[in-house]
Amino acid sequence: DAKTTQPPSMDCAEGRAANLPCNHSTISGNEYVYWYRQIHSQGPQYIIHGLKNNETNEMASLIITEDRKSSTLILPHATLRDTAVYYCIVRLADDKIIFGKGTRLHILP
Amino acid sequence: NAGVTQTPKFQVLKTGQSMTLQCAQDMNHEYMSWYRQDPGMGLRLIHYSVGAGITDQGEVPNGYNVSRSTTEDFPLRLLSAAPSQTSVYFCASSYSRTEKLFFGSGTQLSVL
């Protein structure tokens, strides 16, 4: 079973910030949180990852709570091209990378 | 760099036939894995490998075999195809167990 919990779907208005939550309450101290997205039926695409500190790159920001039990992916100015399924995953200690069902993000014009 | 290359892109099989889905990467990645994705579902891990000569089972390994004789290649074998194996198959690789995954473009398999 996936070690993360995400809402099945979310809507966001075009141009606004999209905030996608993820719960990972059983995360261990050395496990990273990764975010990927899948557009249509393409292969998933890496977005960002983090361990403890907040991270930012050209695509998104990742906010991890101090207790590391949850995180939020932020797309600062959502566009229609950001419509996709977003997956939050935690790498397990035995190297299995388990994807859950993700969050289907709809960007509304 | 070609990245992660999967062949074929599409395949139709009859029940009971066998075939091999090919996956190759040219990034010298140690970690490789296979996922299947059914319509409207997330990805489910079939098998993975942390290096040449090492493979292990994922969430849904039954009906599939893998081998890792080289760092570059990680083929997935269906020994006797069943309609339940109709799915889109993705191969992925990463430099190490803590690095980001790169995915192939997928193989759409139909078993009649």
Measure CB to CB from residue A41 to each of B44, B88, B92 and give the nearest one.
Answer: B88
pLDDT in tens, B60-72: 999 999 999 999 9
Average pLDDT over residues B33-40: 93
Q: Rounded to whole angstroms, how far apart are CA atoms A51 and A48?
A: 11
Average pLDDT over residues B48-73: 96
Query: Is B38 in contact with B87 (CB distance < 8 Å)?
Result: yes
A53 in reach of chain B (CB within 8 A): no
pLDDT tens, chain A, 109 aa long: 558 999 999 999 999 999 999 999 888 888 889 999 999 889 999 999 999 889 999 999 999 999 999 999 999 999 999 999 999 998 776 688 888 889 999 999 9
- pLDDT score, position A93: 66
Q: Choose the mutation target among B32, B68, B101, B109 for the interface with A, i.e. most A CBs under 10 Å.
A: B101
Contact: A43, B104; criterion CB under 8 Å: yes
- pLDDT score, position A29: 80
Q: Rounded to whole angstroms, how far apart are CA atoms A61 and A48?
A: 8
Name the residue type at position A94: D
Closest CA to B5 of B19, B17, B20, B21: B21
Give, in degrees to the nearest 5, the angle at Cα B41 between A109 and A50: 75
Residues of chain B contacting residue A98, judged by C-beta atoms under 8 Å apart = 45, 59
